[in-house]
Amino acid sequence: MSGLPYEFALALRYLRPKRTFVSIITLICILGVTLGVAVLIIVISVMTGFGIQIRERLIGFNAHVTVESARSPELTDWRALSARIETNTWVKGVSPYVNTQVMIKTQPNDGRASSVFGTIARGIDPVLEGKVSKLTNTLTAGEFRLSPNSLLVPFVIARAHGLHVGDRVAVYSIPAIERMVEALRKGEDEARYADDYTVKGIVDLGMNDLNANLLLTSLADAQDLWGQGDREGVQGLSVMLYTFDDSATLKATRELRQQLGTNFMVGSWLTTNADFLDAITTEKRVMFYILFFIVIVAAFGIMSALITFVVQKTREIGVLKALGATPGSVALLFLGQSVVVGVLGVLSGLGTGMLALRYRNEFLGAMNRLTGYDLFPASIYQFTALPAKVVPSDVAIICVMSLIICVLAGVLPALRAAWLQPVEALRNE
């Protein structure tokens, strides 16, 4: 310590572990800072990883940009429009789609009761769709072949309704139901209200909401089920961009709107999922502010420990001032103690947080076994493992702000010691 200023040398000497009440309080203060920093790093990293995973899932199974008609429910000359969109420098690929509501009735062969449920049938062109999303890479059973009157069923729907590859289902479209209602109103009897479809494959669309509410079929079948206007019309176009970060998506969307004019509606995955993404961002910020109170509580502990230390060292403070120590030197001595406590707490918190993130899923599994509950259910959070992403800037902000708070906690006791007069200090002793 000979190379250190005497203020810091004394600060380190006073902080050496001793069997005193002050040393115990100091240790508790360090543990408090450690806990606050570690919890902040863990929670913010998990929230960041969760947000990144959600974005990747949204981008992977949804179009970066969608183009629909602003004046009618369908795009008739969609091939010419696709060629026009592909001339944009931001655009990598274009694919048509049709989304239509249908009612499905299962037709089990093993004597089980049939099941009826409503869902959305999404018609795609498998060749073009592979250029704009990951839907064509989601097969878990069967084959990704959309022949006439065929379906690809997500595993959640298949599991809920007992569907397997090769099963047949009756598909009721909105036009078919309307024809049935009209026939009943007129007293007529329609021989056929539904179309028979075959389950060609089981898919995993990556997110529970998609797996529970979406079926895939061919574009031609979806056009028949949709029953809107021209047999060749589609509902819209999915557009994939070369770069899909927030700024690039906004620029590409703006350019396409200018290029296509007011006859078309151009949306993006950012606007479609704006509420969901904003909720994740807001939750991350709120968690950051709430958990930072742990560090603030630890700072109050540092302040109380230093106040106790000032009272115990009143005689030494008086001797130092009588020997010529300036008020600034005395204040620096106690600020040095808060700096040391803060640095030790922040470093140990950083190490603890990184270690906990490394073994987060092992810890989660142990807690699931211990409590008997699934603390991170995939049906709610969409993931089978706890995601995490350590962002150096977030970690730096947490560590620096925690250290600043710890240092500020020592200002009041340091000023109290600096204002102490040597005569009064020695007289009280």
The reported pTM is: 0.70
Strand partners, 121: 100, 215
Together in a domain, 228 and 312:
no
Together in a domain, 286 and 413:
yes
Asked, for residue 395, whether it belongs to a domain, the answer is yes
Together in a domain, 281 and 230:
no
Q: Tokens 């902040």 label which residue?
A: 40
Distance separating alpha carbons of residues 180 and 188, to the nearest angstrom? 9
Output the CA–CA distances (angstroms, integers) from residue 357 to 134, 289, 389, in the order listed.
Answer: 29, 20, 9
Together in a domain, 297 and 239:
no
Q: Print pLDDT tens along the chain (429 aa).
A: 455 565 566 666 666 655 555 567 778 888 889 999 999 999 999 888 888 888 777 777 778 888 988 888 888 888 889 999 989 888 888 999 999 889 888 877 766 778 888 899 999 888 888 778 777 777 888 888 888 889 999 988 988 888 888 888 988 888 777 777 777 777 666 545 678 899 999 988 877 777 888 899 998 888 888 876 556 788 889 898 888 778 888 888 899 999 988 888 988 888 877 777 788 788 888 888 888 888 888 888 888 877 877 777 777 777 766 666 777 777 777 787 888 888 989 999 999 999 999 988 888 888 888 888 777 776 666 666 788 899 999 999 999 999 999 888 888 888 877 776 665 655 555
| Number of domains, the chain | 2
Output the CA–CA distances (angstroms, integers) from residue 248 to 67, 97, 237, 240, in the order listed.
Answer: 17, 23, 19, 12
**Which amino acid would we find at residue 287?**
M
Strand partners, 339: none
Backbone angles phi, psi at 372, to 5 degrees: 80, 10
- Contact by Cβ (8 Å): 232, 223: yes
Distance separating alpha carbons of residues 222 and 235, to the nearest angstrom? 10
Among 215, 239, 267, the domain-final residue is 267
Contacts of 65 (CB under 8 A, 6+ apart): 238, 239, 241, 249, 252, 253, 256, 266, 267, 268, 269
In 3D space, the residue among 36, 51, 20, 19 whose CA is nearest the CA of residue 341 turns out to be 36
- Contact by Cβ (8 Å): 92, 131: yes
- Does the CA dihedral 172-224-212-167 come out positive or negative? positive
Together in a domain, 242 and 306:
no
In what helix (H) or strand (E) does residue 378 lie, and over which residues does it extend?
A: helix 378-381
Together in a domain, 260 and 282:
no
Q: Tokens 């106040």 label which residue?
A: 307
Asked, for residue 319, whether it belongs to a domain, the answer is yes
Together in a domain, 249 and 287:
no
Largest CA distance in the chain: 112
- Antiparallel, parallel or unpaired: β 65-69 and 264-268: antiparallel
Strand partners, 208: none
Asked, for residue 62, whether it belongs to a domain, the answer is no
Strand partners, 66: 238, 267
Together in a domain, 416 and 294:
yes
Q: Which domain holds residue 47?
A: 6-56+277-428
In 3D space, the residue among 225, 230, 114 whose CA is nearest the CA of residue 176 turns out to be 225
DSSP state of 148: T
Among 247, 267, 287, the domain-final residue is 267
Together in a domain, 318 and 384:
yes
Together in a domain, 321 and 417:
yes
Among 249, 267, 285, the domain-final residue is 267
Together in a domain, 304 and 224:
no
Asked, for residue 302, whether it belongs to a domain, the answer is yes
**Distance separating the N- and C-terminal Cα atoms of the chain:** 29
Asked, for residue 324, whether it belongs to a domain, the answer is yes
Together in a domain, 102 and 248:
yes
Asked, for residue 1, whether it belongs to a domain, the answer is no
Asked, for residue 224, whether it belongs to a domain, the answer is yes
Output the CA–CA distances (angstroms, integers) from residue 144 to 93, 152, 203, in the order listed.
Answer: 20, 7, 9
Beta strands in 174-248 (DSSP E): 195-203, 214-218, 236-241
- pLDDT at residue 346, as a whole number: 93
Distance separating alpha carbons of residues 335 and 7, to the nearest angstrom? 9
- Antiparallel, parallel or unpaired: β 236-241 and 264-268: unpaired
Distance separating alpha carbons of residues 117 and 212, to the nearest angstrom? 11
Distance separating alpha carbons of residues 212 and 154, to the nearest angstrom? 7
Asked, for residue 281, whether it belongs to a domain, the answer is yes
